[in-house]
Structure 1
């Protein structure tokens, strides 16, 4: 199993990528799956989904707002107290910002709140985990980024924050490699799952465009000619968290069906 006996912390548990990361980590043999999100209801739903598929999985739920340093410390402290170590940290938590906002109309204080979560929050949680990884002789940190950092389509505050964290990951990889800590980034594109499906159905209703047409239009710009699923993308992130990528650090892995190449 890809993550046999590993303790994996996943931030940003929700109905999309977050819960898929947790489910697959459990299925891949993780010793402990640590779930972090601001809402307790999401954590309960994720735990139930894991229990239904992997009864023996050990799950720790810690309500966490990563923009709060003390909550980041608490998350990692509870993990170490329960399992004794932190083998992998997958930074999936984020706030989307205003998708429709143009830069000329931008509310820059709003950008600050996006950066507080997506950049500083992610780094605060990473900073809390690093001392324990150093003490145990290594670990893996995975940053979840986005294709929009290199292929703009709007939502500049979110894209800029994800670009910042991808650059930070390279610096962390260079600094922490001597401790056996690897830091990599997975750049996601379209992901077919609950969030995307819900958005497309709403857009289809509002614009009077058939759902199938919307899906086909998106898929036409992806070389594999389909929208990757949340499961597809979660598997790539877990590869970076696993020992199968022991020789990989400071890398940015495109997990978007090749769409980043499209003009």
Structure 2
């Protein structure tokens, strides 16, 4: 088990990647502290874990990460419950509004930045002192392919994640001497409730069928399929584990090869 006897915080629990991250951490032997703004989403994730027969210790804390005091409360409760924090996986996000930049709702951009950048950084900075005190830890930022391969109408979301990418590189440099690793997983299309719902909505609005949309997206991916949420979660959990103990400041592309760095 990659995370045996570890304590992992996962932010942004919800249908799709957030739940899969918590579930995979539990499968890999970790005790898990989960946070989301909506408490029922935490209950759903706990049920998924228990339905697999896993006896993982679970802490659920309803948290809006854009509020620094709520981040502090989450971290304090995690320390009180488990005594340490070995891994933080920052998955919480706000997609913002979707429109061309020249028509941008900059208020929506600020809301996305409050979660994707400032909220993520706030939670990270609450965790860092505890990792320093215990002699190390691992932080995984869930980033997006949109920062590497721009996509129409996603400028605000991409800008917020690009800011996070720059901060992540600086964090890796600064925290390395404290044995704290900081890495990013850059997710592309992920097959799960969010994308499936988007495709269904497009079909219902008179667009191509769900299967036609899947084929069109997969045609641009060298592996010829949209990666599953669960497989993407495994990549992030790897970065958090000791199997990646020689890796920091890395940007791992998890998109089936749709973006190929050179």
Classify the TM-score, shorter chain: over 0.9
Q: Which residue of 1 aligns with 2:157?
A: 158
- After the TM superposition, list the runs of 4 or more consecutive aligned residues in structure 1 that deviate by more than 4 angstroms: none
| C-alpha distance in 2 between matches for 1:212 and 1:72 | 40
2:120 maps to which of 104, 122, 140? 122
Structure 1: which 5+ runs fail to align?
none
Deviates more, 1:161-170 or 1:47-56: 47-56
Q: Which residue of 2 aligns with 1:173?
A: 172
Alignment pair present for 1:92 and 2:91: yes
Deviations 1:11-62 (A, max 9, x none): 00000100000011101111x1111000011011111111111331100000
> 8 Å contact 1:26–1:54 — kept in the other structure?
no
Coordinate RMSD, CA, aligned: 1.0
> 8 Å contact 1:88–1:141 — kept in the other structure?
yes
Deviations 1:95-121 (A, max 9, x none): 00012x111111212211111111000
Structure 2: which 5+ runs fail to align?
none
Please list, as runs of the form range in 1=range in 2, the aligned pairs for 1:158-237 lying within 5 A after superposition.
158-237=157-236
> 8 Å contact 2:93–2:115 — kept in the other structure?
yes
Normalising by the residue count of structure 1, what TM-score does the alignment of the two structures yield? 0.97
Aligned residues: 260
Report the secondary structure of 2:103's partner residue: coil
Report the secondary structure of 1:224's partner residue: coil
Deviations 1:61-99 (A, max 9, x none): 000000001000000100000000000000000000012
> 8 Å contact 2:26–2:54 — kept in the other structure?
no
Normalising by the residue count of structure 2, what TM-score does the alignment of the two structures yield? 0.97
Please list, as runs of the form range in 1=range in 2, the aligned pairs for 1:1-263 lying within 5 A after superposition.
1-30=1-30, 32-99=31-98, 101-153=99-151, 154-261=153-260
